Amino acid sequence: MSLGEELTGRTAADLAELVRAGDVSAVSPSVAGGLVGRTAAELAGLVRAGDVSAREVTDAHLERTLALDGEVRSFLCVAPEVAWAAAAEIDAARARGDVLGPLAGVPVAVKDMFCTRDLPTTCGSRILEGWRPPYDATAVARLRAAGAVVIGKTNLDEFAMGSSTENSGFFTTANPWDTTRVPGGSSGGSAAAVAARFAPLALGTDTGGSIRQPAALCGVVGLRPTYGRVSRYGIVAYASSLDQAGPFATTVADTALLLEAMWGHDPCDSTSIPSEPEPVLARLEEGVAGLRVGVVEELTDVEGIQPAVRAAVDSARNLFEKAGAEVDTVSVPSVEYGLSAYYIIAPAEASSNLARYDGVRYGLRAPAPEVAAMNALTREAGFGAEVKRRIMLGTYALSAGYYDAYYGQAQRVRTLIIRDFARAYERFDVLLAPTSPTTAFELGAKTSDPLAMYLSDVCTIPTNLTGACAISVPAGLDAAGLPIGVQVLAPALGEAVLLRAARSLEAGFAFTARPTLGEAA
């Protein structure tokens, strides 16, 4: 265990370098093959049955991560000792004959927005570099209690502000399908890690689409649950009325498995929904016969939509019809204003939440003779451009004379959008839309034009404003071989019907392609 200080907290590329140099033997090389690329459900089954140990599963995934993450850069830090300690506990519990949890021995990658007591938590920001939280986020604690093995913390746009992971204060992450392109964001590291099969499961947060958009761009499943279903305790706050944590996986069933392991009421989060959630995994295969599906016109014909993405929505529509659903189009006119409302509300809340980074209690402190200058210099040195931009925008929108014209008006528009969706759900059980108007764009393509970057969230933002749930499911590849995602939306607390519909689409699309990442195709 004394190795802990040496290995944990490094990137995969740094670790791989140490292994190559012979400085450490990071992972046992003689792992039984075939453990990577399996689902979480399969792996947990193998561990529970004693066919493989949690340590073997962990090592197989660490080995793959060390070998290939230098190309993807999905992890900010890889955590061998922390993972080995967790795996050893599972293996000891099994040896004692204890009942193992639903995620026994399953490697999980955690977005670096979640507090972890044994790993640094940076939020992708220099202002928090080296900070180690004194506690675990509730979601992380619950996953660990379910037997999951945290193998590292993944890269993100700084404080989850961005749609490409290029706003990380440390480095950019590449899309495993084409390493010249972005993985999406802000949870780009988590989406890329699952797509690259470094871990079968990952945690993300979704404030404006930060789980669903990278899931679509990386060809994996990503779910944003109903606001308040997963505790926000220990998740660093960005925009508190929009933030929600959720799962990434390669299958809808694994998505449900991860969701069930972490959701439900938490007394530490006063916005946590008190009612017990209905089980979703057990009802996944019930099909969509008779289900009413509405195709959202305004999002499907959104400006700038790539024809292949539009065609994927049509395919999804056909698959639903073939499976017995009743499909029609629906108009939700106010979604047109969603983006504008979001880019007032989210920065306003962020400007307030990020006031806490003042150089006093944690993180960076710039030297200055008195405290006001220390605050301002610390924030100037520690925050990146996008974070400053949103703090400025939010501060302006909340300042005297502008509050009602911007923030107040955005909150009223939020009500209009909630009403429009309520009307749509009188006629439909779930809605269908693209997840992102385009497939993965090239690194650097939108970094100089913030507004163009914001437009890639246009299809996901309405769910955050309404507090409802939605999921992105892989629907195929475009002509360039890049994954396309389609989105299913359901009303608040509608996870059971949402996941059932997503499972039906998954079976219909039968998406089995994987990125190759330097291996033989």
Partner 1 sequence: MSNPLTRADVEHVARLARLALSEAEIEQFTVQLGAILEHAARVAALDTHDVPPTSHPIPLANVLRTDSPLPCLDRDVVLSMAPAAEDGRFRVPRILGEEA
Q: Which of residues 460-489 bind partner 1 (CB under 8 A)?
A: 465-468
Which residues make beta-bridge pairs with 224? 470
- Check binding of 255 to partner 1 (CB under 8 A): no
Handedness of CA 328, 334, 339, 343 (dihedral sign): negative
What residues numbered 271-310 form the site for partner 1, per CB under 8 A? 271, 273-274
Stretch that binds partner 1, among 303-311, 381-389, 439-447, 476-484 (CB under 8 A): 381-389
Which residue in the list 111, 125, 168, 446 is annotated as catalytic?
111
Sole binder of partner 1 in the list 3, 145, 360, 422 (CB under 8 A): 360
Smallest distance from partner 1 to CB 150, Å: 20
Q: How far apart are CA 249 and CA 261, in angstroms?
A: 13
Q: Give one DSSP letter per residue of 385-445, joined into a string.
A: HHHHHHHHHHHHHHSTTTHIIIIIHHHHHHHHHHHHHHHHHHH-SEEEEESSSSSPPBTTS
3-state secondary structure of 114: strand
Closest among 417, 380, 443 to 180, alpha carbons compared: 443
Q: How far is CA 502 from the centre of its chain?
A: 17
Nearer to partner 1, 330 or 393 (CB): 393
Residue 231 annotated to the active site:
no
Sole binder of partner 1 in the list 322, 412, 423, 427 (CB under 8 A): 412
What residues numbered 51-110 form the site for partner 1, per CB under 8 A? none
Q: How far apart are CA 76 and CA 386, in angstroms?
A: 19
What residues numbered 129-148 form the site for partner 1, per CB under 8 A? 131-132, 134-135
Torsion of CA 281, 284, 286, 291, to 10 degrees: 120
Smallest distance from partner 1 to CB 361, Å: 6
Unique residue bearing structure tokens 């506690």: 135
Token duo for residue 114: 């979640």
Sole binder of partner 1 in the list 5, 276, 303, 370 (CB under 8 A): 370
Burial string for 362-377 (b: 16+ CB within 10 Å, else e) reads bbbbeeeeeeeebbeb
Stretch that binds partner 1, among 186-194, 277-285, 294-302, 383-391 (CB under 8 A): 383-391
What residues numbered 194-233 form the site for partner 1, per CB under 8 A? 226-228
What residues numbered 304-343 form the site for partner 1, per CB under 8 A? 337, 339-341, 343
Residue 111 annotated to the active site:
yes
Token duo for residue 122: 């940076």
Nearer to partner 1, 291 or 344 (CB): 344
Smallest distance from partner 1 to CB 307, Å: 25
Nearer to partner 1, 327 or 348 (CB): 348
Residue 388 annotated to the active site:
no
Q: Give one DSSP letter per residue of 262-292, joined into a string.
A: H-S--TT-TTS--SPPPP-GGGGGG--TT-E
- Could you tell me whether strands 326-330 and 292-296 are parallel, antiparallel, or unpaired per DSSP bridges? parallel
Which residues make beta-bridge pairs with 110? 153, 203
- Check binding of 162 to partner 1 (CB under 8 A): no
Which residue in the list 163, 164, 168, 186 is annotated as catalytic?
186
Stretch that binds partner 1, among 39-47, 217-225, 269-277, 497-505 (CB under 8 A): 269-277
Smallest distance from partner 1 to CB 505, Å: 26
Sole binder of partner 1 in the list 93, 323, 374, 445 (CB under 8 A): 374
Token duo for residue 37: 């690329």
What residues numbered 421-450 form the site for partner 1, per CB under 8 A? 450
Which residue in the list 210, 231, 272, 504 is annotated as catalytic?
210
Stretch that binds partner 1, among 34-42, 300-308, 360-368, 506-514 (CB under 8 A): 360-368
Closest among 504, 467, 483 to 434, alpha carbons compared: 483
Stretch that binds partner 1, among 28-36, 80-88, 189-197, 408-416 (CB under 8 A): 408-416
Handedness of CA 42, 44, 47, 48 (dihedral sign): negative
Stretch that binds partner 1, among 64-72, 143-151, 250-258, 267-275 (CB under 8 A): 267-275
Nearer to partner 1, 453 or 497 (CB): 453
Q: How far apart are CA 499 and CA 196, in angstroms?
A: 23
Number of residues that bind partner 1 (CB under 8 A): 73
- Check binding of 112 to partner 1 (CB under 8 A): no
Q: Which residues are catalytic?
A: 111, 186, 210
